Structure 1
Amino acid sequence: MYRILKSFILLSLVNMSLSQKIGKLTPEVHPPMTFQKCSEGGSCETIQGEVVVDANWRWVHSAQGQNCYTGNTWNPTICPDDETCAENCYLDGANYESVYGVTTSEDSVRLNFVTQSQGKNIGSRLFLMSNESNYQLFHVLGQEFTFDVDVSNLDCGLNGALYLVSMDSDGGSARFPTNEAGAKYGTGYCDAQCPRDLKFISGSANVDGWIPSTNNPNTGYGNLGSCCAEMDLWEANNMATAVTPHPCDTSSQSVCKSDSCGGAASSNRYGGICDPDGCDYNPYRMGNTSFFGPNKMIDTNSVITVVTQFITDDGSSDGKLTSIKRLYVQDGNVISQSVSTIDGVEGNEVNEEFCTNQKKVFGDEDSFTKHGGLAKMGEALKDGMVLVLSLWDDYQANMLWLDSSYPTTSSPTDPGVARGSCPTTSGVPSKVEQNYPNAYVVYSNIKVGPIDSTYKK
């Protein structure tokens, strides 16, 4: 019995040492940011929150201050494998404004695109927190989510994205004790692409099988990926926008390995447990080319209020998700989503009929239905999801899937190919970073509440 107990204690000590440790070189101080919870009739309560930058942007170093990761490669001495790397490496605090170009003011946050300090930082990904150690969970099934956004300084190839994902509220530290850093340091990211470019996943490093990117000096991908349901409330620049649900077979965060992840880094994009494409509503793609953009009906030269409503079959927060509706408010006018002009695809909201018809008419893989469609998306929304605020450029496809004609091998006149008026030569990250270093996006006035409670009619 003594030998068994001794072995158990030794094993526990070993497991405790294999962890994603917390660095002490830079204090972690989250920028404050408020949001509002509304009730029937439009009465809203201001909630004090804060934002945290994703762990993937942070400095990871040894106890002696050596880089665990430089450029797009791991230090082979400190990080020869996943377990040893997690034991040796520390995740440190962030200098939000000087390093990442992130500033907050009351209910708003500004994300700058290129920030030059000791090195060059490109974009950022933030999470809204309820307190210092936990992400804010939003339960929007049968509710609406509203925010203001300024995309006037986002040109072709850029994406200011605000979306919900099924991350653990504590960043995964309870489920994965080897993750000591937790939500306070922005850990636990996942989405429906099952990204494999994350340096740490579920308390483990992602060193094994790591392949540095051939066209990005800062990224690569490993054997592991991090999957969960994703609700893209807003992906946009000043030329195009889309709202897109991405269901998964299992809504909560889970780890995948290699090609079983699906997504862009795998041999089969549709081989994972999530829908990487989603069912998108992009007004331009659905035939209305005069609806969204500079000096158009929704004028991207000005701030836009964006309202997304999650309609259930019985009107309650426990019902089945049947529809996702979009409204815009600008200059005091409430404007409904544009109506599709594509033959065979009717309406102006995301519902099962729209998604089925869109996939058929556009000739797209229907992974949306395969992974449970709106019903599965609704389950994730009911459980609660974490809000992500980001700004990024696209090293995979130059953001053409959002704002240009894509795939480029198809004719722009084919149904579903034209998604925006940006040329197919646009969006190359090296050029975007050179030409638009001062680009930025501002998100503000976030509200959640019952249908028609968060905006003025």
Structure 2
Amino acid sequence: MFPKLALISFAFTSVVVGQLVGTYETETHPRVTWQRCTRGGSCQTVQGSIVLDANWRWVHGRTGYTNCYTGNSWDTSLCPDNRACAENCALEGANYASTYGITTSGNSVTLKFIQPNSNGKNVGSRVYLMASDTRYQMFNLLNQEFTFDVDVSKLPCGLNGATYFAGMDADGGMARFSTNRAGARYGTGYCDAQCARDIKFINGEGNAEGWTPSETDVNAGTGKHGSCCHEMDIWEANSISTAYTPHSCDQHNSFRCSDSACGGRDNRYGSQCDPDGCDFNSFRLGDKTFYGPGMTVDTNTKITVVTQFLTDTGTASGNLKEIRRIYVQNGRVIQNSKVNVPGMDAYDSITEPFCAATKVAFEDRDSHGEHGGLASISQGMKNGMVFVMSIWDDHTANMLWLDSNYPVDADPNKPGIARGTCPTTSGVPSEVEASATDATVTYSNIKFGDIDSTY
């Protein structure tokens, strides 16, 4: 996956993040069910809920309602430094439906891309699956499979309805960082392999020092620090293209980075994490008729997405050796597409030989191998990972890395450049936010369990 510096691209001007807890809006987590399955097709329903990521929330002075952050700038009287920010700022509860366009019903979660509200509008969102009101649901993916249904029919070029696993703390960081008073209940502790620097509070402190407002997003910016961890993208998609991608890190718990050590646009490979990952995008890998409207996997209708995490020992204590994808649609099981790239074997899953071959065929830097590859992310999976659901647009690369030719100045006939049929002029956030006001994504029927038990 390409940089997510602009993952948080909302237009609700008072939506930010803090570590203390306010009292203006009661935090009530929308309920959602999911299932835990065992071999033989036995599945037990689990009562869960979701929580909105803290970076979207309103945060204000602890003794009043003055915004700690407005537009894309901090209030320096409340946040003269990072520590003071945590001491002075209170994080509020969320009105999920009316402010953010987030709703649940039974086993489904629907995220609207644009939600008009009393403050203007909210753009995009990110939520986490909860085990309780104060802890995220943790998943050990090794020797297991994860399945969900998704409807991407209303996601045009430039949008990404993404589900993934992040190596976050189960409590949102409260135990490790004493200044974090909000924790998982308020969606704190986000991290990813891009070492996201647009996160406003990291490790229980603000990210105000050295904050640079974005030139393209009036509500976002980049701080001195970033938040890093293993990331397993099981589904990045719109109606045109999809990819699944592991991203490993050298450290196996979430950690804070600083400046150029976070990588990013000016020093992409400077962090302790793999920003590129090892992606399986059927279109990029030579099958241009597999995924899309009216194709083998038809994005006009609901899709069941199965991801299997196979280990070298066939047990949860082994190391990850293969990530296999299966689709189910209209009662038909569809095996993953096969690679059709000169010089490559006909791989149909992510393995170390596949990853090495794609880096050579596409002439890409092997940051996957440099950071330990599948063996490294195995260690993160053993710690447990948090399930993330999101919808977003891209202020860095217009989502072209997912659904168009990227880089745009490269020959699209060169292996690895063409990733989808969207025009290279598509995905501009200002245009997408104006034209895709009805865009939504629905995730439902989440199942987790033994291999071949969830579909």
Structure 1 Cα separation of the partners of residues 365 and 438 of structure 2: 37
In the TM superposition, 1:157-306 aligns within 5 A as 157-264=158-265, 267-306=266-305
Match of 1:151 in 2: 152
2:132 counterpart of 1:138:
no
Match of 2:49 in 1: 50
Match of 1:82 in 2: 82
Structure 2 Cα separation of the partners of residues 381 and 327 of structure 1: 21
Match of 1:314 in 2: 313
Structure 2 Cα separation of the partners of residues 83 and 90 of structure 1: 13
Structure 2 Cα separation of the partners of residues 345 and 395 of structure 1: 33
Query: How far has the Cα of 1:20 moved from its partner?
Result: 2.3
Structure 2 Cα separation of the partners of residues 370 and 242 of structure 1: 21
Structure 2 Cα separation of the partners of residues 187 and 41 of structure 1: 37
Which one-letter code corresponds to 2:395 in the other structure?
A: Y
- Tell me the TM-score normalized by structure 1: 0.94
Q: Secondary structure at the match of 2:396?
A: coil
2:422 counterpart of 1:416:
no
Q: Secondary structure at the match of 1:134?
A: coil
Which one-letter code corresponds to 1:318 in the other structure?
A: S
Which one-letter code corresponds to 1:336 in the other structure?
A: Q
Query: How far has the Cα of 1:237 moved from its partner?
Result: 0.1
Map Cα deviations across residues 196-221 of structure 1 (whole Å, 9 max, x no partner).
00110010000000000000011001
Unpaired stretches in structure 2, ≥5 consecutive residues? 1-17
Structure 1 Cα separation of the partners of residues 176 and 85 of structure 2: 20
Match of 2:14 in 1: none
2:441 counterpart of 1:441:
yes
Q: Secondary structure at the match of 1:232?
A: strand
Match of 1:96 in 2: 96
Structure 2 Cα separation of the partners of residues 134 and 111 of structure 1: 22
Match of 1:352 in 2: 352
Match of 1:400 in 2: 400
Query: How far has the Cα of 1:140 moved from its partner?
Result: 1.2
Structure 1 Cα separation of the partners of residues 71 and 335 of structure 2: 45
Match of 1:4 in 2: none
Aligned length: 435
Map Cα deviations across residues 259-297 of structure 1 (whole Å, 9 max, x no partner).
101123xx2101001000100000000000000000000
Match of 1:13 in 2: none
2:433 counterpart of 1:452:
no
In the TM superposition, 1:352-371 aligns within 5 A as 352-371=352-371
Query: How far has the Cα of 1:77 moved from its partner?
Result: 1.3
Query: How far has the Cα of 1:344 moved from its partner?
Result: 2.1
Which one-letter code corresponds to 2:209 in the other structure?
A: D
Query: How far has the Cα of 1:365 moved from its partner?
Result: 1.0
Percent identity (aligned): 57
Structure 1 Cα separation of the partners of residues 322 and 217 of structure 2: 38
Structure 1 Cα separation of the partners of residues 77 and 121 of structure 2: 25
Map Cα deviations across residues 98-130 of structure 1 (whole Å, 9 max, x no partner).
010000001100000001112211010000000
Which one-letter code corresponds to 1:145 in the other structure?
A: F
Map Cα deviations across residues 176-204 of structure 1 (whole Å, 9 max, x no partner).
01000000000000000000001100100
Structure 1 Cα separation of the partners of residues 44 and 103 of structure 2: 23
Which one-letter code corresponds to 2:255 in the other structure?
A: S
Which one-letter code corresponds to 2:431 in the other structure?
A: K
Query: How far has the Cα of 1:251 moved from its partner?
Result: 2.1
Structure 2 Cα separation of the partners of residues 351 and 291 of structure 1: 20
Runs of 4+ displaced beyond 4 Å: none
137-146 or 79-88: bigger deviation: 79-88
Q: Secondary structure at the match of 2:445?
A: strand
Structure 2 Cα separation of the partners of residues 312 and 84 of structure 1: 46
Structure 2 Cα separation of the partners of residues 277 and 424 of structure 1: 20
- Tell me the TM-score normalized by structure 2: 0.95
Larger radius of gyration: 1
Match of 1:124 in 2: 125
Structure 2 Cα separation of the partners of residues 146 and 331 of structure 1: 15
Match of 2:386 in 1: 386
Map Cα deviations across residues 285-311 of structure 1 (whole Å, 9 max, x no partner).
000000000000000000000000011
Which one-letter code corresponds to 1:348 in the other structure?
A: D
Structure 1 Cα separation of the partners of residues 154 and 141 of structure 2: 29
Query: How far has the Cα of 1:90 moved from its partner?
Result: 0.4
Structure 2 Cα separation of the partners of residues 323 and 159 of structure 1: 25
Which one-letter code corresponds to 1:229 in the other structure?
A: H
Q: Secondary structure at the match of 2:321?
A: strand
What CA RMSD, in Å, does the superposition of the two structures yield over aligned residues? Answer: 0.8
Match of 2:4 in 1: none
Match of 1:8 in 2: none
Match of 2:12 in 1: none
Match of 2:19 in 1: 20
Query: How far has the Cα of 1:78 moved from its partner?
Result: 1.2
Map Cα deviations across residues 328-375 of structure 1 (whole Å, 9 max, x no partner).
000111111100000122211100000001001101111000000011
Structure 2 Cα separation of the partners of residues 101 and 164 of structure 1: 22
Query: How far has the Cα of 1:314 moved from its partner?
Result: 1.4
Query: How far has the Cα of 1:139 moved from its partner?
Result: 1.1
In the TM superposition, 1:334-353 aligns within 5 A as 334-346=333-345, 347-353=347-353
Structure 1 Cα separation of the partners of residues 313 and 84 of structure 2: 52
In the TM superposition, 1:317-328 aligns within 5 A as 317-328=316-327
Q: Secondary structure at the match of 1:315?
A: coil
Structure 2 Cα separation of the partners of residues 431 and 137 of structure 1: 37
Query: How far has the Cα of 1:31 moved from its partner?
Result: 0.2
Unpaired stretches in structure 1, ≥5 consecutive residues? 1-18
Structure 2 Cα separation of the partners of residues 97 and 381 of structure 1: 32
Structure 2 Cα separation of the partners of residues 292 and 251 of structure 1: 34
